[in-house]
Amino acid sequence: MLKSTLIKAAEASGKLIKESINGKFSIEFKEGHNNLVTEVDKASEALIMSIIREDFPDHFILSEEIGEIKMDSAYKWIIDPIDGTINFANGIPLCCVSIGIEKEGEMIMGAVYNPMMNEFFFVEKGKGAYLNDQRIQVSQQEKLLNSCLVTGFPYTYLEAENGPLDVFGRLIRAGIPVRRLGSAAIDLCWVAAGRFDGFYEHKLMAWDSAAGYLMVEEAGGKVTGFKGEKYSPYQPHIVATNGKIHQDLLSWISNTHQQ
């Protein structure tokens, strides 16, 4: 029943997002310049939560806009009602709904749905990652210098030493292509699908990565923090790769790579 509820919630939210992307909606601003939320984000969140509540009224929920609804449950739903809100607000079809399910502190299931591209990613712990019911796997690229990477930039501390701009500058000066799509959930799913060889970001929230990082792991990739430590969606730094370029990318991020 978890799976069916998850899919139902993601599909319902995706339908709303697709119907609304080029329409008129109100926009509010959160902390930081251009850190915004639309009324569709809130409507998507309410829709997802109503579907979850109908089947699992006692489950813990963590969602980007409403925050935590704490319940005494082994299960936690981690929701980003629209990942890539700036893209959505500007009619750019690189945005999605992302929902992860955690059981007793372990991510067990997730869905990421971009309805504009008709791409529904689904993952279940120990059972693989899928795109539109077809199993996916990470790329086989072995050399970082030949890789295609993707990243995102936070709304704060861009100029920090060894921060987002420093790392980005090192990589692009070496001729390594680094893209920025504007949706961490899509970034992670595209690593899982082998489109990108690696993804890194300095500041994510749990709802940004909960479903996507499990997608990468179940597709055969590797996900850690910046020091190679076990990844948790409750800490900000993430590196997700096909596994083959992982250590090399970590060294470029820490600026310890061989010149």
Tokens read off for 228: 């190679």
HSE, side-chain direction, 13 A CA sphere, residue 225: 11
Q: Residues of the chain whose pLDDT is less than 70? A: 25-37, 156-159, 259
- pLDDT the model gives residue 258: 72
Q: How far is CA 137 from CA 46, 120, 144, in A?
A: 33, 15, 18
- pLDDT the model gives residue 259: 58
- pLDDT the model gives residue 230: 96
Short-list 33, 238, 19, 245, CA closest to 138: 245
Domains plus CATH for the chain? 2-135 (3.30.540.10), 144-253 (3.40.190.80)
Do the bridges between strand 178-179 and strand 149-151 make them parallel or antiparallel, or are there none, so unpaired?
parallel
pLDDT tens profile 94-140: 999 999 999 999 999 999 999 999 999 999 999 999 999 999 999 99
pTM assigned to the model: 0.94
